[in-house]
Chains A and B, each alone.
Chain A
Amino acid sequence: MKEYLQKYFVLRKHNMNVAWKKAKNRKMCYLFLAPYAILFTMFYVFPVVASIYYSFTYYNILEPPRFIGLQNYVSLVLQDDIFLIGVKNTMMIALITGPLGYILSFLFAWLINELPRWIRSIAVIVFYAPSIAGNCYVIFSVFFRGDAYGYVNAFLMNLGIIDAPILWFINPQYMLPICMVVILWMSLGTGFLSFVAGLQGVDRAQFEAGYMDGIKNRWQELWYITLPNMKPMLMFGAVMSITQSFGVADVTMALCGYPSTDYAARTIVTHLFDYGFSRFEMGYACAIATILFLMMILCNKAIQSLLRRVGT
């Protein structure tokens, strides 16, 4: 056993030496990478670590952080009802708009794939535009205005479905569904582009071979040829749509107000924002951030292992 360990360490040392020599030879590479690596560490890696650290403290910027153990997490789960509403809403939004937006992205990318070239480029612009149109979603507050002059209200009243205008963004019953519609409207984003590009790259010869082997309709073609070829893009798209759907806050804050009636449109991010930048309870806010971080990473890992099985 001792001998084995010794051998292992000799090997490790040797490997380290080789790596060190290689690194010395490649000094140039590190110089190239350095600007990005430093900034990335500063604004992406370090903050995550710092966030986990602060989540165990009470910190309000004015006084130095005070270690309080798991207190923040305990109060989040046991005492903070509003946080639980936020978790519930975020999960609802993520579970509905996430997969749905993902499927829609793929579906439309696939449907427009066979259109002639110039129609396809127009279609890509039309479908992609909402996700880069900045704050354009606030226009939905005009459609869903609470009085009888709002389009949706007027339309429904003319049809006789309702007899009094509905306060869409004030009545908790309607807030989330409308926000989800808006989020879905904006969901054909980066993943969609990736799908469009990926579908163009599928080897034509495989389809020819498919016809010979008796693939009958477009659905079989999709399942047996297209999807397996698209796996890396599917993975990328999944990452994008998970990141988006867990980070929802702008839409709910802009449409339903901040804070919203009865906190009915509160999400985890809104809660984080509230504690971090309105109440300056940084420790508590960091605990929320850490929970959100873990949720997103775990969800990503789970989805990726699921997607690995597509077409196999």
Chain B
Amino acid sequence: MSKKLIKKRKPNRSIAGDIALYVFLLLVAFVMAFPIIYAVSSALKPLDELFKFPPKIFAQHPTMDNFSDLFVTMGKSWVTFSRYLFNTVFITFLGTFGHLIIASMGAFVLAKYDFPGNQTFFKVVTVAMMFTGWVTQIPNYLILNKLGWIDTYWSIIIPAFASPMGLFLMKQFMEGLPTSLIEAAKIDGANEWLVFSRIVMPNVKPAWMTLIIFSVQGLWNNKASTYIYSEERKTLVYALQQIQSGGIARTGQGAAVLVVVMIVPIIIFVFSESQILETMASSGLKD
């Protein structure tokens, strides 16, 4: 065993350096994880423990009361908690699904075919990654207004389809597919759509997960407060802010929503980490 370890170690590393490294990483990992752990444990604390001083980091008697309170007390309010949850799930699901299909179709031809305008279009997409969504917020509002989509789910869902990041990652990843695969299918008489849906898409599954995580992350955390103003169409993050501004009595519930909001992207990431990293390996910007 120890022989194997020694063999695996790179020859130019000092043992002291390695130990220092481990200790350092452990410390940093603790600092990084602490706020998240704290949020989860606050959500599990019963009321009397939330305000204990000095506070305990971990709940002594963990309960799910805060979560059930969310549904019970918020269930009686005008817009129920489950409605906020539904809005967010609906927006996230449709937006991600559409984005995956539309961006993959675009990425496929950009990566595998040579046609006039190909390079230029991709360059424009890369430039679009260089500024935040805030820059386009106001004209977007005006456009959505003209389309009559303000105060509907579409105002969030449709713009999400065109996120440049997804197309970029998908295209970079598809470039790694062997062209012979596509050519072979064509000789067998498959048209472009068949090549895309039967050959290319099943072969880029790791990239799917990557698109999904980025899209979900954007949509799930979308406050949607600028484009949607009807209370019954607002999202979970918005509800979270309302609950938190409800003051000290809502501390436990606030923490519970926090957990509901953050758990979904994190779980998706945990289960798809290796696929995402596989995609990110081709994320480099070449010039």
Chain A contacts to B: CB under 8 angstroms = 19-20, 22-23, 26, 28-30, 32-33, 35-37, 39-40, 42-48, 50-51, 54, 61, 108, 111-112, 114-115, 121, 123-130, 132-140, 142-143, 149, 151, 154, 185, 188, 190, 193-194, 196-198, 200-201, 207, 211, 215-218, 221, 231-233, 235-236, 239-240, 242-244, 246-247, 249, 254, 269, 272-273, 276-277, 282, 285-286, 289, 292-293, 296-297, 300, 304, 308
Closest Cβ neighbor of A248 among chain B residues: B132
Which of B105, B115, B129, B276 is within 8 Å of A243, CB to CB?
Answer: B129
| B87 on the A face (CB < 8 A) | no
The smallest C-beta distance from A263 to any residue of chain B, in angstroms, reads: 18
Closest to B259 in A: A136
Interface segment, B67-75, B76-84, B159-167? B159-167
- Closest CB-CB distance, B51 to chain A, in whole Å? 8
A-B pairs with beta carbons under 8 Å apart, 28 shown: A22-B114, A29-B118, A35-B106, A36-B102, A39-B158, A39-B162, A42-B143, A44-B136, A47-B138, A47-B140, A50-B143, A51-B138, A123-B25, A127-B29, A132-B262, A134-B261, A135-B240, A135-B258, A190-B214, A194-B280, A196-B280, A197-B277, A236-B283, A247-B134, A269-B132, A276-B138, A277-B226, A289-B137
Q: In this assembly, does B274 line the interface, its C-beta being within 8 Å of a C-beta of chain A?
A: yes
Say how far B140's CB is from chain A's closest CB, in angstroms.
Answer: 5
* Distance between B227 CB and nearest chain A CB, rounded to angstroms: 10
Asked whether, in the complex, the Cβ of A185 is within 8 Å of the Cβ of B35, the reply is yes
Which residues on the B side are within 8 Å of A111 (C-beta)? 21, 24-25
Known contacts A134-B221, A197-B278; A297/B130 CB under 8 A = yes
Q: Are A47 and B277 in contact (CB under 8 A)?
A: no
Within 8 A of A (CB), among B26-58: 28-29, 32-33, 35-36, 38-39, 42, 53-55
Q: Kindly state the separation between the CA atoms of A59 and B17 in the bound complex, as whole angstroms.
A: 62
B207-221 vs A, Cβ < 8 Å mask (1 yes, 0 no)? 000000110010011
Q: Are the CB atoms of B12 and A215 closer together than 8 Å?
A: yes
Cβ of B187 < 8 Å from any Cβ of A? no
> Is B97 in contact with chain A by the CB < 8 A criterion?
no
Contact A289 B280 (CB under 8 A): no
Instruction: Tell me whether B65 is interfacial, beta carbon within 8 Å.
Output: no
B270 at the interface (CB under 8 A from A): yes
- Interface: B285 (CB within 8 A): yes
Q: Bound state CA distance, A273 and B24, in angstroms?
A: 40
Decide if B281 touches A197 in the complex (CB within 8 Å). Answer: yes
Q: How far is the CA of A149 from the CA of B114 in the complex (A)?
A: 64
Among A136, A151, A276, contact of B55 (Cβ-Cβ < 8 Å): A151
What is the CA–CA distance of A190 and B128 in the complex, to the nearest angstrom?
Answer: 16
Evaluate contact between A112 and B25: CB separation under 8 angstroms. yes
A138 touches B159 (CB 8 A): no
Given A26-B115, A196-B280, A296-B132, A32-B108 contact (CB < 8 Å): yes
Closest to B55 in A: A151
User: Does B192 make an interface contact (CB < 8 A)?
Assistant: yes
**Interface majority SS on B: helix, strand, loop or mixed?**
helix
CB–CB B131/A292 < 8 A:
yes
**Chain B residues near A196 (CB, 8 Å)?**
277, 280
With A217-B12, A221-B12 already in contact, the answer to whether A26 and B139 are too (CB < 8 A) is no
User: Residues of A contacting B192 with CB < 8 Å?
Assistant: 28-29, 32
* Residue contact A46 to B276, C-beta cutoff 8 Å: no
A286 with B284: CB separation less than 8 A: no
CA distance A142 to B276 in the complex (A): 33
Cα distance A121–B217 when bound, in Å?
20
CB within 8 Å for A138 and B258 given contacts A42-B143, A51-B139: yes
Tell me, yes or no, whether B116 is within 8 Å of chain A by CB.
Answer: yes
**Shortest Cβ distance from B88 into chain A, in angstroms?**
10
Q: How far is the CA of A297 from the CA of B131 in the complex (A)?
A: 7
Q: Which of A135, A190, A232 has most B Cβ within 10 Å?
A: A135
Known: A51-B135, A130-B36, A132-B266. 19 other contacts (CB 8 A): A29-B115, A32-B108, A35-B161, A36-B167, A40-B167, A43-B136, A47-B136, A47-B138, A50-B143, A125-B273, A132-B265, A135-B237, A135-B258, A149-B53, A218-B17, A232-B284, A232-B285, A272-B134, A297-B131
In Å, the complex CA distance between A35 and B161 comes to 9
Closest to B124 in A: A45
A129 close to B21 (CB less than 8 A): no
- Given A39-B161, A44-B164, A289-B138, A242–B130 Cβ distance below 8 Å? yes
Complex-state Cα separation, A142 to B116, whole angstroms: 56
Partner of A198, one of B28, B106, B281: B281
- The answer to whether B115 touches A36 (Cβ under 8 A) is no
> Are A276 and B141 within 8 A (Cβ)?
yes
Given the interface pairs A35-B102, A197-B280, the reply to whether A293 lies near B161 with Cβ below 8 Å is no
